[in-house]
Structure 1
Amino acid sequence: MNTLKSRLGAEVEVGTFLKFPVIESVELMSIAGFDLVVIDLEHSPMSIESAARLLAMAKALKIESLVRIPSHGYEWVQRSLDAGARGVLVPHVDNAEQAEQLVAAAHFPPRGHRGFGPTTRAGGWAVDPETDYRLEANTAALVVQIESGEGVADVEGILAAGVDSVFVGPADLSVALGVEPGSPELARASRTVLDAAKAHGIPCGIAAGSGERARQLVDEGYDYAVVGNDATMLGSSASAMVAAFRR
């Protein structure tokens, strides 16, 4: 069975998003005990150069890494994987055709059309004899984010396209469906994705707002959860300290 464990090389249960372009964020999340960091190029001003530095730190610390790319462009898949990401998280995948195009972008011919560039971190810069660039490419994870009613409706086609994992984005999904977070409609849509993934033997992840909620979701059957982000953690901690002082 194609599992995220086999793709990422570790037992991944909990991760977090990174929005700050500083390597210390990776270091701190590793110390905290996260299994995974997701470098967020969709909802941050971070550049691919900054992401590459964070990926280098993740590799050194042996913490798993994904890059959430800002669009479906081939160049984002190629550059993120060549920079050393263990996979890409692709937002707003709404149908099987989009999923098929992403699968092609992430794989070498004949399965896809990814460019061959071993003179990269993923290829050991063509000087590390221990690095097999083709193996690195074949074990990279393509994770697609389902966050619309269209994506939920075509989840079977998306899964059949050859993706390695699906990821539920509850915030965008609730907006797309026109329902409130925590509503029964949102729960049903998320469950549709989870049940389909289970039937296909494909891991299903989900975003969560707290550690407690992440634990609950994994206990309910999700394979992994991505909880919070470095920016909100810093802001929340700072706000709590000031509030305690003012009291």
Structure 2
Amino acid sequence: MSLASRLSAGETVFTAWSGVPDAFTVEALAGGPFDAVTLDMQHGGHHEDSVLRALLPITAAGKPGLVRIPVGRFDMASRALDFGAEAVIAPMVNSLEDARLFAAAMKYPPVGQRSWGPTYAMSRGKTADSAAWLANANADTLALAMIETREALAILDDILAVPGIDGVLVGPSDFSIAWSNGETMNPGLEDMMQAIGDIGRRTRAAGKHAAIYVVDPTLVGRYVEMGFRLIAMGNEARYMALGAGMLIEAARTSIK
């Protein structure tokens, strides 16, 4: 079942967040409890070659692979899809032109201008039926525009109305900087929660998918109530720190 289908069915999907450009590390993430894995090219270390290689263990594990491209690299959106990604996240979509360029790179005609070449994607999806692939690709691949600024918030409804934009992902760290006019970076800033909730509700009302990056897992229930269904959490360093801490604590506790 595709990521798009799961989200459309109302399922809450948790994605791991990978910044380490190593396929073996990504393979370990894909074998863990997360429903999906996101490869981060914006602030993480992933690059074109690591995305090509790291999507393989994700698809082999039967999980959706997502890619966050660098700012403005809409050409990489098409490449990520050709490599086998099911969704692409575009940061700093602050204008309608950004949204339109992103959608154009993500969708085949007549919706967009994506060029044909899903050689790796079809192989990793274990299909040779190019006609069926073309017929379903626009619906099965998700274009998620990040909402991180006041400029993006002001035109949210217009972004959501762009053909080919399937939803948005809120980046609460950057959003908190914008919301506080540069006074603080606090992804759990209470003062902005009403605005985040408004984004979730308006996105769902438009029939699109609402996603959010979560730093504090105790906020997940609150975000789900706001309409967010794709939840991105942590990164490799965070996972290792938590796991190592639990192991050491259990070991020390066992010593008489």
Same fold (TM over 0.5): yes
The aligned amino acid for 2:169 is F
Map 1:132-147; keep pairs closer than 5 Å.
132-135=132-135, 137-138=137-138, 139-147=140-148
| Percent of residue pairs bearing the same amino acid type | 28
Deviations along 1:70-103, whole A, 9 cap, x unmatched? 1222321111111110010111111222111111
Q: How many angstroms does 1:236 deviate by? A: 4.1
The aligned amino acid for 1:218 is V
> Which residue in 1 is equivalent to 2:177?
175
Q: Tell me the TM-score normalised to structure 1 length.
A: 0.85
> Which residue in 1 is equivalent to 2:59?
59
> Which residue in 1 is equivalent to 2:239?
233
Deviates further, 78-87 or 231-240: 231-240
> Which residue in 2 is equivalent to 1:114?
114
2:167 matched to 1:161?
no
CA distance in 2, matches of 1:173, 1:242: 36
2:220 matched to 1:224?
no
3-state DSSP of counterpart to 1:112:
coil
> Which residue in 1 is equivalent to 2:122?
123
User: Which sections of structure 1, spanning at least 5 residues, go unmatched?
Assistant: none
Does the CA contact (< 8 Å) of 1:122 and 1:136 recur in 2? Answer: no
Q: How many angstroms does 1:241 deviate by? A: 5.8
> Which residue in 1 is equivalent to 2:76?
76
Q: How many angstroms does 1:242 deviate by? A: 6.6
CA distance in 2, matches of 1:17, 1:10: 21
Does the CA contact (< 8 Å) of 1:95 and 1:155 recur in 2? Answer: no
2:219 matched to 1:213?
yes
The aligned amino acid for 1:116 is W
CA distance in 2, matches of 1:68, 1:176: 20
> Which residue in 1 is equivalent to 2:45?
45
CA distance in 1, matches of 2:166, 2:217: 25
CA distance in 2, matches of 1:160, 1:208: 26
User: Which sections of structure 2, spanning at least 5 residues, go unmatched?
Assistant: none
Q: How many angstroms does 1:25 deviate by? A: 3.4
Does the CA contact (< 8 Å) of 1:124 and 1:133 recur in 2? Answer: no
The number of aligned residues is 243
The aligned amino acid for 1:197 is T
3-state DSSP of counterpart to 1:121:
helix
CA distance in 2, matches of 1:10, 1:221: 9
CA distance in 1, matches of 2:67, 2:86: 8
CA distance in 1, matches of 2:17, 2:96: 26
CA distance in 1, matches of 2:202, 2:226: 15
Does the CA contact (< 8 Å) of 1:15 and 1:35 recur in 2? Answer: yes
Deviations along 1:180-226, whole A, 9 cap, x unmatched? 42334311221221121122121111111143332442244312211
